[in-house]
């Protein structure tokens, strides 16, 4: 019997998650269905409860419900607690709801798949919203020398950096700082755009010294054509990578949490890239 999974969002019709998980299920021989559900903005918890009552086993959660999913979960993973958000829900056999976040793992694995080494790297992250908060823990676990958070509102970046410092991270010794765009000084080895601004044709006021021709520019967003941020970085000689692989890798981690099978993301990456 097929087990049911879904992705919740609002809006959600554009989601590629059903396609990705259908490819994973076919590849791994898993009997499951996966659908997109537009939950009411005022009643995400009700949508999850109705899904579980109808036999649902797990779900991905996207905007604007990741913080609500965090509050809804009975049990949280360590990385979800640090992120303050949940993008993966599991309905446990004990009846409890388990919450995790796989975005940061997806980002790091995609960087690794492209041969990008974070160990001892100087990393810059643009933006200080929920998308950035959700990826900081795995980024720091990869061992960068330093991580700087830049944001239009400098105080928000400084506050997020302070929050990171206040959390126990074992042997992680990276220097984490925050500030505004106007105080940025490069170069950095890896620059990650965690804002959605470039998809709207906007670009933060970034100095030309931010990247060298050996640097990597990564946009957590993706489109059929390079984003404005990647176009800017490419003209300065940097290597550019968009976020399609991150989407696939975070989905693979969710799939593993539900099915205890890890799919091969390479063929799925090729298929999705061709379909863009």
Question: What residues does each domain of the chain span?
Answer: 3-100+246-275, 104-241
Distance CA 261, CA 168 (A): 30
Q: Is 156 annotated as a binding residue?
A: yes
Q: What is the pLDDT of residues 141-153, one digit of tens each?
A: 999 999 999 999 9
Grade residue 43 by pLDDT with cuts at 50, 70 and 90.
Answer: very high
Q: Is 154 annotated as a binding residue?
A: yes
Q: Is 245 annotated as a binding residue?
A: no
Distance CA 76, CA 103 (A): 15
Same fold, 3-100+246-275 and 104-241: yes
Q: What is the pLDDT of residues 248-262, one digit of tens each?
A: 999 999 999 999 999
Span of 77-81, 171-175, 192-196 with lowest mean pLDDT: 171-175
Known catalytic membership, residue 276: no
pTM of the model: 0.94
Q: What is the pLDDT of residues 112-137, one digit of tens each?
A: 999 999 999 999 999 999 899 999 99
CATH topology of domain 3-100+246-275: Rossmann fold (3.40.50)
Q: Is 161 annotated as a binding residue?
A: no
Q: Which of 66, 79, 91, 148 is catalytic?
A: 66
Q: Is 133 annotated as a binding residue?
A: no
Mean pLDDT of all residues belonging to the chain:
94
Question: Quick one: pLDDT at residue 167?
Answer: 65
For 21-89, the DSSP string reads HHHHHHHHT--EEEEEEE--TT-HHHHHHHHHHTTEEEEEE-TT-HHHHHHH-SEE-HHHHHHT--SEE
Question: Quick one: pLDDT at residue 56?
Answer: 98
Distance CA 205, CA 197 (A): 12
Question: Quick one: pLDDT at residue 168?
Answer: 54
CATH topology of domain 104-241: Rossmann fold (3.40.50)
Mean pLDDT of 53-80: 96
Question: Quick one: pLDDT at residue 164?
Answer: 86
């Amino acid at each position: 019997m097929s087990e049911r999974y879904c992705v919740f969002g609002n809006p959600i019709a554009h989601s590629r998650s059903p396609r990705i998980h259908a490819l994973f299920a076919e590849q791994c021989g898993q009997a499951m269905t996966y659908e997109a559900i537009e939950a009411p903005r005022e009643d995400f918890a009700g949508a999850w409860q109705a899904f579980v009552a109808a036999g649902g086993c797990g779900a991905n959660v996207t905007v604007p419900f990741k913080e609500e999913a965090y509050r809804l979960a009975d049990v949280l993973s360590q990385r979800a607690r640090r992120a303050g958000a949940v993008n993966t829900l599991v309905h446990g056999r004990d009846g409890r709801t388990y919450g995790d976040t796989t975005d940061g793992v997806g980002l790091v694995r995609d960087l690794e798949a492209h041969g990008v080494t974070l160990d001892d790297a100087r990393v810059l992250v643009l933006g200080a919203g929920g998308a950035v908060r959700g990826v900081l823990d795995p980024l720091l676990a990869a061992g960068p020398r330093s991580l700087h958070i830049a944001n239009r509102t400098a105080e928000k970046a400084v506050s997020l950096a302070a929050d990171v410092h206040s959390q126990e991270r074992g042997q992680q010794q990276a220097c984490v700082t925050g500030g505004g765009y106007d105080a940025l000084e490069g170069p950095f080895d890896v620059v990650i755009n965690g804002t959605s601004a470039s998809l709207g044709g906007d670009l933060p006021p970034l100095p030309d010294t931010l990247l060298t021709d050996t640097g990597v520019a990564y946009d957590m967003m993706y489109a059929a054509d390079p984003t404005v941020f990647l176009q800017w970085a490419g003209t300065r000689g940097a290597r550019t990578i968009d976020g399609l692989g991150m989407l696939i890798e975070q989905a693979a981690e969710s799939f593993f949490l539900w099915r205890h099978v890890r799919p091969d993301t390479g063929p799925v990456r090729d298929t999705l890239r061709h379909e863009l």
